[in-house]
Amino acid sequence: MGISNDAGLVDRAILNQEIEAILQEATGNFQARELVQDHVETVIRAGRSGEVRQAAERVIELLSLDLDDLRKGALLSLMVRLTGKRKFDPVVAYVLEKRATYVTGRG
């Protein structure tokens, strides 16, 4: 059972099940879960189509949520797996660049 169909589109129901499993027993409300689902789906679609900035901004928002490191790691793993490592690498580079700019800009 895959998350992508033959056209490469994300099967939202299956994606939501995977996200629900990751967020199981996490604190937060239903709106936060929907937000995570929307952001993950945006990351996957934007990453696959080469829209690095849009994907990276959503990754940054997801990493800013009040989740433990294990859940954040699981979400990142899911996004890498579904986007594809080659397509996700530029997103990671952008996130790291933005982080470096933010950290040095505050100092």
pLDDT digits (tens, 9 = 90+) for 5-44: 545 567 888 898 999 999 887 766 666 788 999 999 999 9
| pLDDT of amino acid 102 | 58
2, 13, 30 from 89: Cα distances, Å: 22, 26, 30
How many domains would you assign to the chain?
A: 1
Radius of gyration of the chain measured on its C-alpha atoms? 14
Please check the confidence at residue 74 and state whether its pLDDT lies above 90. Answer: yes
Q: Is residue 4 part of a domain?
A: no
DSSP 8-class letter at 30: H
Global pTM reads: 0.80
Residue 1 confidence class, pLDDT cut points 50, 70, 90: very low
Q: How many C-beta atoms surround the C-beta of residue 32 within 10 A?
A: 15
Q: Is residue 3 part of a domain?
A: no
Q: Is residue 5 part of a domain?
A: no
Size of the chain in residues:
107
Q: How many C-beta atoms surround the C-beta of residue 43 within 10 A?
A: 28
Domain membership of residue 77 as a residue range: 12-106
Residue of 75, 77, 72, 84 whose CA lies nearest to 37: 75
Q: Is 42 helix (H, G, I), strand (E, B) or coil?
A: helix
